[in-house]
Amino acid sequence: MDAEQIFNKYLRQAVKSASEDVAEQARTKHGFTSRTGNLERSINAMLSSDGLKGWVTIDRTKAPYGTYVHQGHRAFTLVPRNKLALRWVEGNEFVFAKRVQIPATKGDPFLFDALETKREDVYKVFENRVEAAIDEITKGL
């Protein structure tokens, strides 16, 4: 392997490790109340096809409400689309209403918080992987 291939191999390892660390931090340290665990399970670390870019996302197929929890939302009125009334359960009884006022919520930016918390660890991961790449490259000279 030439120097560029060796360096890219170690960079891919660093990107993968750092992305997974931030995703794990976001899954375990957040301010929202988890009821089903779907939002935590929807937090994934993803890599580009070449492995040199990584990001942490919320899988909206597993938790379509994840963006609203993360970013918050303004107040809005909920009205039925196909029926005459909305229905939900409170206690052991059904409640019906023509419309419901949903209050605004402040977001819990757990992805941003996770990155900020892990920032120094990410720097260390890259520092260690770059040093390992340089060691391997210089051994081959």
In the chain, where the domains are located? 3-71+106-139
Inform me whether the pLDDT recorded for 24 exceeds 80. yes
- What's the pLDDT tens digit per position in 106-130? 999 999 999 999 999 999 999 999 9
Span 89-118, mean pLDDT?
A: 96
- pTM, two decimal places: 0.84
Q: Within the chain, how many helices (H) and strands (E) appear?
A: 4, 8
Give dist(CA 123, CA 131) in Å, integer. 12
Q: Is 33 left (phi over 0), alpha (psi -120 to 50) or beta?
A: beta
- The CA-atom distances, in angstroms, between 51 and each of 12, 16, 84, 119, 127 are 5, 7, 51, 20, 17
